[in-house]
Amino acid sequence: MNFKKLWVVLLLALFSSSLVYAAGEPMNEDFSGLITLSEKMIQAGHQADSTGFVAAAEEASTLVKEKGMKGNSPKLQKVAPRFKAAKKAVNDGDFDKAVKLVEEALALMKK
């Protein structure tokens, strides 16, 4: 009798630990389009090209929205506000802040 209870407890422990491992797996996400747009924004920011920066930022925001509709991504939730803040910074004329924000977003996507 004790052996059966021990066996059941062991099986339940193994089963529950496998579920925890599966839930903690990293998500395989493709950020290649966003990375390319981020690099364009950084380039435009270094050249103080507000129209090029804003165009790339709008395209990136659209891409983030499309990807966000496919599933909840923790990285996208961190990257999207940085793109918006960078776009606002460029509209205010602060290219250094905008480039810094995009570089932070780029670092998050490459993790």
pLDDT for 94 equals 93
pLDDT for 69 equals 57
Q: Which amino acid is at 93?
A: G
pTM of the predicted protein model: 0.71
Residues in the chain: 111
Helix (H) or strand (E) holding 110: helix 95-110
pLDDT for 76 equals 84
Q: Please name each of the domains of the chain with its CATH number.
A: 32-110 (1.20.120.660)
Mean pLDDT of successive 10-residue stretches along the chain, which has 111 residues: 76 65 59 91 93 92 77 80 92 93 92 81
The residue with tokens 């493709």 is 30
pLDDT for 99 equals 94
Query: Considering Cα of 33, then 39, then 45, then 47, what sign does the dihedral take?
Result: negative
pLDDT for 37 equals 92
Contacts of 3 (CB under 8 A, 6+ apart): none
pLDDT for 6 equals 78
> What secondary structure does DSSP assign to 44-101, as a single string?
HHHTT-HHHHHHHHHHHHHHHHHHHHHS--HHHHHHHHHHHHHHHHHHTT-HHHHHHH
pLDDT for 20 equals 54
